[in-house]
Structure formats: structure tokens, C-alpha cells
């Protein structure tokens, strides 16, 4: 091997209802990326127990994410769709990465600080070690690219740090066993087993904000259901939520600069842009100078037109759990085969007897 084979990996946690932010920020990208890439898409159920150990219906939540993947257009035969716990190699590599990563690295993770809050001593060890498992999710397939939102960039940087430290620490072992690729990191030549993973960030709405507060990210955990559009919402509910979305009294500007200091207006324009595959400039060229009483109904029509077919297919799939389970089972078998090849080589590089 003289170069890393391109591979896209990403995952979504099975926690609560998927919403518009998940769709525009992640799943829609997954669908687009599959056209020209080898892709592995994972329901990260191991991650779901880091913040909440006991779930009322974890199987249902796992199936819901899988249904959303498929209903949105991901092809589970050409690519791999599976749930993380079906491939125990994720957890095995995560333990090795726990030994590669440094405690100081984990303590600097802003997401851990945010989720643990002031009572950090009472947070689970899993929450602290979450980024090691995320690194393992990606690198157990030696993935080269990961579509991520802004809030996951730090974790991906940590994945690169873990990969680099492993590569440097075991460089001679990697070379002696005939594995790896010659790369340059900065100005330093390295014989690397794991690739330097690149983030895929972009699109007109990388962050979708709450419909009730444009300064906060749209979230499954927000107590107000009016703050988000769920993928399982029907047309009437979508219409109600958009019409009730917080705005300001001014008309829409004609240029993007005019959205500065108007978070709710910027959010709605960003949502329209993403759903219509337009730029914010193009949206404002069409609606600039108009009031929200004109813009909101147009956004309702667009959102219903885009989301209703997905909602309908999700509901159909959720009524056929045997079909979803068969897809996940097949994906799990294919994922395990790929992951086990990596783990056999990693065990050999480290020196474990097999």
C-alpha cells in the first residue's frame, strides 16, 4: 500500500427524535457523499450510553436512525449501514486509544466540560473517554474523511492526534510488519498505519439553530418541541412550528451582511437556503425587502415538500422492523469483517499474541 484508500465514515447517536438540524447538518451530506465515495454510516449506540445509561427504548431509537438514513436516500447495499455495538472491534480499539491518548487531552475537550457541567467528578468515565471511542469508530476502518459539524471539529483534531501518536510510537513496528504508508505531517516524514483524517465541513447550513432562540443550536434535548422540526413531524406540525418561529419586526435584508445581529432571521434564511440548495445570497435576492409574513409561508411549503417524503418513508420502515433489522445485521457483518482486518494488524503491530 502506497496511499490510504479514500473512505468516508460518520455516525449519529440514537438519542431522542432526529430533527431538521440532524438532517441538514449530517444526513443530507451523507446522501451526497455516497455518490462518489465508499461510505460507512453508523448508528453509534455505544456513545448513547455515555450521557444516559438507561434508555426506555434503545432498539427503537437505533431503528429510527437507520430508517432516517435509508428514507433520506442512503443505499445500504452499496454502502454500509449498521449499529456500532454490532462491531466489538470499536470498543477494542478504543481501549488501545485510551492508552495512547493523554488525560490532559481529554480534559481539554470543551464538549466534556459542557456536558459534565460543574459536577465533573460525578460524570461517567465513558463521557470523558468519549473522544477515544469516536477516534476508534473512524480509524478501525482507516477512514480518511469524516463529515462533521463545527461542534465535532475538536474531537476530529483529537482523532488526528491519537493517530499521529500511535503512528510515531509504533513506526518501526509498522514498517517491520509491512504495513503503513509514507506520509509527511508538518515537515516530518512518518510511516503511518492510521491516516490523518480530514473533516468534511460545509454547506449553506452547517449549524441549524433553535426556532425559539437563534443563538442556540437546534437540539433534541430542548424542553420546547416548538424549538425544532422533527423528521417525524407531519405537514401541519411543520407549518405550525415555522409560523410560530421567533423573528424580529424588520423586513429581510437584500444582502447577507444585513443579517448581522439578527440570529433568528439568519437561521430561517439558512434553513431555506439549505433546503433549496441555494446560497443565502440567492435567497435574499428573492425575498429581500419582504416581511416574514411572506417568507414564512414560502419556507413552510419548501420544508413540507422536502421533508414529507422522508417522513412517510421513515414511518413505513418503522412499521417493518424486520426489514430494518436485516439491513443492520447485514451491515454489521460487513463492518465486522473490515474492522477485524484492522484489528488483526493492530494487535500484530502492538505485539499481542493472536
Instruction: Report the 10 Å Cβ neighbour count for 52.
Output: 13
Does residue 248 have a known ligand-binding role? no
Burial of 339 (0-12, 13-18, 19+ CB in 10 A): buried
Does residue 21 have a known ligand-binding role? yes
Does residue 151 have a known ligand-binding role? yes
Q: Which candidate in 5, 78, 113, 115 is catalytic?
A: 115
Please confirm, yes or no, whether 217 is among the known catalytic residues: yes
Residue 9, helix vs strand vs coil? strand
Find all residues with CB under 8 Å of 58, minimum gap 6, and list them: 14, 45, 48
Find all residues with CB under 8 Å of 263, minimum gap 6, and list them: 209, 213, 214, 215
Does residue 149 have a known ligand-binding role? yes
CB contact at 8 A, 271 and 205: yes
CB contact at 8 A, 269 and 209: no
Q: Which regions of the chain does DSSP assign to beta strands (E)?
A: 8-12, 39-43, 80-83, 145-147, 181-185, 188-192, 198-200
To the nearest 10°, report the CA torsion of 199, 163, 82, 339: 140
Distance in angstroms between the alpha carbons of the first and the last residue of the chain = 23
CB contact at 8 A, 8 and 33: yes
Q: Which candidate in 217, 246, 278, 341 is catalytic?
A: 217
Best CA proximity match to 248, nearest among 264, 259, 267, 260? 264
Does residue 36 have a known ligand-binding role? no
Does residue 220 have a known ligand-binding role? yes
Please confirm, yes or no, whether 5 is among the known catalytic residues: no
Q: Which candidate in 5, 29, 165, 220 is catalytic?
A: 220
Please confirm, yes or no, whether 244 is among the known catalytic residues: no
Half-sphere exposure of 90 (CA within 13 A, CB side): 25
Does residue 219 have a known ligand-binding role? yes
Kindly write down the DSSP assignment for every residue of 67-98, as one continuous string: HHHHHHT--TTTSEEEEGGG-THHHHHHHHHH
Does residue 1 have a known ligand-binding role? no
Does residue 218 have a known ligand-binding role? yes
Does residue 269 have a known ligand-binding role? no
Tell me the binding residues: 13-15, 21-22, 137, 149-151, 208, 217-221
> Would you name the residues annotated as active-site residues?
115, 217, 220
Tell me the binding residues for ATP: 13-15, 21-22, 149-151, 208, 217-221
Tell me the binding residues for L-tryptophan: 137
Amino acid at each position: 500500500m502506497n496511499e490510504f484508500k479514500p473512505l468516508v465514515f460518520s455516525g449519529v447517536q440514537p438519542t431522542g427524535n432526529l430533527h431538521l438540524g440532524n438532517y441538514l447538518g449530517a444526513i443530507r451530506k451523507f446522501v451526497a457523499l455516497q455518490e462518489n465515495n465508499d461510505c460507512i454510516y453508523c448508528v453509534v449506540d455505544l456513545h448513547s450510553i455515555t450521557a444516559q445509561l438507561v434508555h426506555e427504548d434503545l432498539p427503537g431509537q437505533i431503528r429510527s436512525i437507520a430508517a432516517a438514513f435509508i428514507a433520506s436516500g442512503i443505499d445500504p447495499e452499496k454502502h454500509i449501514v449498521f449499529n456500532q455495538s454490532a462491531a466489538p472491534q470499536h470498543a477494542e480499539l478504543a481501549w488501545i486509544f485510551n492508552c495512547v491518548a493523554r488525560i490532559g487531552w481529554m480534559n481539554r475537550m470543551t464538549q466534556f466540560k459542557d456536558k459534565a457541567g460543574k459536577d465533573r467528578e460525578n460524570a461517567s468515565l465513558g463521557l470523558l473517554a468519549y473522544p477515544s471511542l469516536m477516534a476508534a469508530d473512524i480509524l478501525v476502518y482507516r477512514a480518511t474523511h469524516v463529515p462533521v459539524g463545527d461542534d465535532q471539529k475538536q474531537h476530529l483534531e483529537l482523532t488526528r492526534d491519537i493517530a499521529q501518536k500511535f503512528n510515531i510510537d509504533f513506526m518501526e513496528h509498522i514498517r517491520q510488519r509491512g504495513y503503513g504508508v509514507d506520509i509527511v505531517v508538518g515537515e516530518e516524514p512518518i510511516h503511518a498505519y492510521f491516516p490523518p483524517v480530514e473533516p468534511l465541513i460545509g454547506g449553506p447550513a452547517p449549524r441549524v439553530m433553535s426556532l425559539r432562540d437563534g443563538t442556540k443550536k437546534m437540539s433534541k434535548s430542548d424542553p420546547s418541541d416548538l424549538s425544532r422540526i422533527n423528521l417525524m413531524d407531519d405537514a401541519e406540525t411543520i407549518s405550525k412550528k415555522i409560523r410560530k418561529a421567533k423573528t424580529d419586526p424588520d423586513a429581510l435584508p437584500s444582502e447577507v451582511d444585513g443579517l448581522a445581529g439578527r440570529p433568528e432571521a439568519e437561521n430561517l434564511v439558512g434553513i431555506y437556503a439549505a433546503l433549496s440548495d441555494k446560497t443565502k445570497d440567492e435567497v435574499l435576492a428573492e425575498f429581500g425587502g419582504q416581511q416574514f409574513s411572506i417568507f414564512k409561508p414560502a419556507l413552510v411549503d419548501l420544508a413540507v415538500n422536502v421533508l414529507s417524503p422522508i417522513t412517510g418513508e421513515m414511518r413505513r420502515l418503522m412499521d417493518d422492523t424486520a426489514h430494518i433489522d436485516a439491513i443492520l445485521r447485514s451491515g454489521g457483518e460487513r463492518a465486522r469483517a473490515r474492522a477485524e482486518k484492522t484489528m488483526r494488524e493492530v494487535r500484530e503491530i502492538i505485539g499481542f499474541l493472536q
